[in-house]
Structure 1
Amino acid sequence: MKQTEMSRLSREDDNSSTNSNEYNYPDCPRKVPLNEPYADLDPESENFLPDKNPGKKKYETEYHQGNASFGMSVFNLGNAIMGSGILGLSYAMANTGIALFVILLVAVAICSLYSVHLLLKTANEGGALVYEQLGHKAFGMPGKLAASCSITMQNIGAMSSYLYIVKYELPIVIEAFTGSNDEWYTNGDYLVLLVSLFIILPLSLLRNLGYLGYTSGLSLLCMVFFLIVVIIKKFQIPCPLPGAHHAENETVSKLLNATVSPNNTTAVDYSEACTPKYFVFNSQTVYAVPILTFAFVCHPAILPMYEELKDRSHRRMQGVANVSFLAMFIMYLLAALFGYLTFNIHVEPELLHTYSKVYNFDVLLLIVRLAVLTAVTLTVPVVLFPIRTSINQFLCASKFSWIRHTIITMVLLIGTNILVIFVPTIRDIFGFIGASAAAMLIFILPSAFYIKLVKKESMRSVQKIGATAFLLCGFVVMIGSMSLIILDWVHNATKEEHPDGH
């Protein structure tokens, strides 16, 4: 799934086997013996290979040789891109229409690739292959805080989205085996707490995650399997859906009336609901761009993967990004299109859960649910690891402490569970994180770092003008999306308080 810190995680696990403690952070002051090589370097540079030739410019610094092939790097970056965001794309298409969705998908993919280009050039010039270090070199502690907080928010959003899948899908799996749907053990809130307490917490408390790093590949395979099933089910599920005229679909009926004809007070024409639309504008359209940005965030993983790339060069790593983004673009488009064509306006914010409208028990969907549940459950500790490491870094904790380790882990899991239980839908997580942290990581931070650190280009150059425009675009996307999402929340809260419209 979405592991934006997988490469750094593997490096930290390697370091834990060679060092006497887990936390050896470059920003925490320590004494350096004079006989150590490069003893005159500032602590910020210690996790990064120093310049072997002081006469070279920063962007010509020689880094250690990586050992990851082009193909393996493509696979790893695909793992970093792919995540739970794919489950919300059909909902985004249902509220934008096919044509508008494709336009937005292409635009976000191109913007993400451009920000990768900016990051790679900035890394060569700034001499750092960690997102937070670039922030520190560019703007000092505020820059590092901005990068660290954005990555932490993005990872908390990813953890929340994974636990939402547990909340939505595990009750359906249990109902399929027990035939009961009104017992306490089919309540999603209780199940999230139990899974977090008995599975995720013990795994998260491990100092070395080891084999859990491979769940990234498992998650990608699960999502490929999910995509295949979505395509197959398109040709098996009729439209309109069975029971579409029943009272349980009253909410969907209201949505259709509001979308097709806001002033229409007559009965819903369900044949209209089965006609794909190319341009749609409604109150939920504002979530489309945040959902797409959430789905494409992988930027904190770009620099560690760049460091590990064999025969490393800017051009070669950009090629890795191009291939990975193209593959994920195709997967995202197919998942969104076939999910939308299957359910049309009936699509829910989490696509896999939408199939429960049609099937109480289906072997193929049950296998998909079990595979996805296994993958996301094992992925939560992997995503939690870099958040905890970042917190320890800011605490300058040079020695490992089980008490601190346990407290940070429990606080993160408790906070994430509270979000999942009390935030009504996964759409709000996709929307808020996509509009804030994802916009920072894709648009704002890469362009700001580039403008500040790449000194060989003047502010009047085409490259700097383009980066400045990209920065302004990022602020427009973030502020605009957040404002519209908050307005939608306020509007929905007002409707709940005054359902009669008075």
Structure 2
Amino acid sequence: MELQKNGHSRDEGFDGVEVIPELEECLPHKPGAKKEVHFTDFEGKTSFGMSIFNLSNAIMGSGILGLAFAMANTGIVLFLILLVCIALLSAYSIHLMLRSAGVVGIRAYEQLGQRAFGHPGKLLAACVITVHNIGAMSSYLFIVKSELPLVIQSFLSKTESTGEWFLNGNYLIIIVSALVILPLAVMRRLGYLGYTSGFSLTCMVFFLISVIYKKFNIPCPLSVKPANTTPPMSNLSVHSETNVTCEAKLLTMNSETAYTIPILAFAFVCHPEVLPIYTELRNATKKRMQAVANISILAMFVMYLLTAIFGYLTFYTGVEEELLHTYAKVDPLNVLTLSVRLSVLVAVTLTVPVVLFPIRRALLQIFFPDKPFHWARHIIIAVCLVVFADLLVILVPSIKDIFGVIGATSAPSLIFILPAIFYIRIVPQDQEPLKSRPKIQAACFAALGFVFMVMSLSFIIIGWATGKSRARGH
């Protein structure tokens, strides 16, 4: 990860960043002068397949658990149209980033900001990445905090917690962070996480297979278990059988439909990880990295679509906001249900270190831009970030609305606004004038991001006002 990131990297650490004017590359070198190493000369060590695993794992978020609920509130046809549009827009956004990086020889989001708008642009990109990824880390840890005690409780055949320390979610996230997340987070290169990313995706594939299998084994309307068998779920809304319509809707509109676009947009956020993965890609070229992005987005598109369709066709209008909760209501002690919940826990836990890498890089860019790589600094930042995320999850009882505001501002910025405006500023006008079709498209893309941001914030504010907030993390 710290194998940066700039057009003229250093051999000893690649942590320092020195931005050299573009035109200087065209000047003849003096005889005997040492030639600067261009980023295309750097030999990445991560294979094409491992890069796909890492980027796919960065895309895959906890939002997959809410896609069936989103489909229930849009209908199959409208959901499919929105999912296709968001996937294509995300791929186009990555194209803009890679095009900008190729022009100036930079592979760090923050340095693209500096080249486009100077130091304020660098700070803006670093802050947006930091805020968004801390929110994503915390959302994953919240899943661990809420789901892991229930899984352990179910494996012990307990119907309720009697105060044991190993059923306390606060203790469990500290243990998981210390034993699993932190050792992975202190690795020097993001490419090393390709194996854990592959295992994480395998867990999510198992989740998808189970969702498909459950479709043919759960009757509709639901036979909900008595409330006293699942006390942890007592705070969830329970759909009575008379309220469940066991009929698939191709198109539907209701008060929840407006939340679908933000949910889908957040589900494809992976942009802070794109350039670091590009840096470590073996035989890196723009075309090769774009292929990594396209395959990753396509794979996640298929997983999202199948999860949404089969989850929706299992429960129809009875689907909960989080799909796992709906399965838990039907048969909380079922072995397959427990295995699915455990696989999701493993997947989100192994995703946390991947999300942490861009935060650390952003902090290094802000506070230590000219310092070479140092293990002590590398480890201390990782420890501080993990401790901060754990404290946030432990001390704040409900921060879904805070995450909603963070997501409504950072996700559109990372996907739409920043890549577009960086592209417009960085690509020289002699190559593409401001009135050229690519730059007009980029400007429209940025405008679309502003629309998404305003719309998402409006939905959250309306939710606060009506008491029906549905804000979600990545």
TM-score, normalized by the shorter chain, greater than 0.5? yes
Q: Show the counterpart of 1:333.
A: 305
Alignment check: 8 A CA contact 1:160 1:429 kept: no
How far has the Cα of 1:347 moved from its partner?
A: 1.8
Q: Show the counterpart of 1:150.
A: 128
Task: Write the distance in 1 (CA, Å) between the matches of 2:54 and 2:350.
Answer: 17
Find the partner of 1:360 among 323, 332, 356.
Answer: 332
Moved more, 433-442 or 306-315: 306-315
SS of the residue 1:273 aligns to: coil
Q: Show the counterpart of 1:422.
A: 398
Query: Does residue 1:225 correspond to 2:202, yes or no?
Result: no
Alignment check: 8 A CA contact 1:90 1:339 kept: yes
Q: Show the counterpart of 1:198.
A: 175
How far has the Cα of 1:53 moved from its partner?
A: 5.5
| Residue identity opposite 2:146 in structure 1 | Y
| Residue identity opposite 2:198 in structure 1 | G
Q: Show the counterpart of 1:488.
A: 463
Task: Write the distance in 1 (CA, Å) between the matches of 2:170 and 2:246.
Answer: 38
Alignment check: 8 A CA contact 2:137 2:389 kept: no
| Residue identity opposite 1:314 in structure 2 | K
Query: Does residue 1:470 correspond to 2:445, yes or no?
Result: yes
Task: Write the distance in 1 (CA, Å) between the matches of 2:290 and 2:44.
Answer: 16
Moved more, 310-319 or 286-295: 310-319
How far has the Cα of 1:487 moved from its partner?
A: 1.0
Q: Show the counterpart of 2:33.
A: none
How far has the Cα of 1:295 moved from its partner?
A: 1.2
Moved more, 244-253 or 380-389: 244-253
Task: Write the distance in 1 (CA, Å) between the matches of 2:51 and 2:383.
Answer: 33
How far has the Cα of 1:236 moved from its partner?
A: 0.3
Query: Does residue 1:442 correspond to 2:415, yes or no?
Result: yes
Q: Show the counterpart of 1:36.
A: none
Rate the CA distance shift 1:75–1:484 in 2: closer, same or farther, 3 A.
same
Rate the CA distance shift 1:171–1:250 in 2: closer, same or farther, 3 A.
closer
Task: Write the distance in 2 (CA, Å) between the matches of 1:478 and 1:437.
Answer: 9
Gaps of 5+ in 1: 1-7, 13-17, 28-42, 255-267, 495-502
Deviations 1:388-432 (Å, cap 9, x if unpaired)?
45335433395746877755542333124345x323x6xx57744
Alignment check: 8 A CA contact 1:66 1:312 kept: yes
Q: Show the counterpart of 1:99.
A: 77
| Residue identity opposite 1:281 in structure 2 | M
How far has the Cα of 1:150 moved from its partner?
A: 1.9
Task: Write the distance in 1 (CA, Å) between the matches of 2:277 and 2:24.
Answer: 20
1:96-495 correspondence runs (5 A): 96-185=74-163, 191-201=168-178, 208-209=186-187, 214-243=195-224, 251-253=237-239, 269-270=242-243, 273-396=245-368, 400=376, 406-407=383-384, 409-419=386-396, 421-423=397-399, 428=401, 431-455=404-428, 456-492=431-467
Moved more, 331-340 or 430-439: 430-439
Q: Show the counterpart of 1:82.
A: 60
Alignment check: 8 A CA contact 2:405 2:460 kept: yes
Equivalenced residue count is 440
SS of the residue 1:283 aligns to: coil
Alignment check: 8 A CA contact 2:129 2:358 kept: no
Task: Write the distance in 1 (CA, Å) between the matches of 2:28 and 2:272.
Answer: 30
Moved more, 331-340 or 92-101: 92-101
How far has the Cα of 1:123 moved from its partner?
A: 0.7
Alignment check: 8 A CA contact 1:175 1:186 kept: no
| Residue identity opposite 1:490 in structure 2 | A
| Residue identity opposite 2:347 in structure 1 | A
What percent identity do the matched residue pairs reach? 49
When the two structures are superposed, what TM-score results if normalisation uses the length of structure 2? 0.81
Alignment check: 8 A CA contact 2:220 2:315 kept: yes
| Residue identity opposite 2:336 in structure 1 | L
SS of the residue 2:168 aligns to: helix
Alignment check: 8 A CA contact 1:116 1:321 kept: yes
Task: Write the distance in 1 (CA, Å) between the matches of 2:323 and 2:358.
Answer: 28
Q: Show the counterpart of 1:26.
A: 16
| Residue identity opposite 1:121 in structure 2 | R
Task: Write the distance in 2 (CA, Å) between the matches of 1:394 and 1:130.
Answer: 12
Rate the CA distance shift 1:286–1:418 in 2: closer, same or farther, 3 A.
farther
| Residue identity opposite 2:65 in structure 1 | L
Superposed CA RMSD in Å reads 3.6
Task: Write the distance in 2 (CA, Å) between the matches of 1:77 and 1:312.
Answer: 15
Rate the CA distance shift 1:232–1:458 in 2: closer, same or farther, 3 A.
same
Alignment check: 8 A CA contact 2:126 2:363 kept: no
How far has the Cα of 1:493 moved from its partner?
A: 7.1
Moved more, 102-111 or 307-316: 307-316
Alignment check: 8 A CA contact 1:108 1:293 kept: yes
How far has the Cα of 1:382 moved from its partner?
A: 4.4
Rate the CA distance shift 1:125–1:166 in 2: closer, same or farther, 3 A.
same
Deviations 1:263-314 (Å, cap 9, x if unpaired)?
xxxxx844x6111122232332232112111211111222233334444433
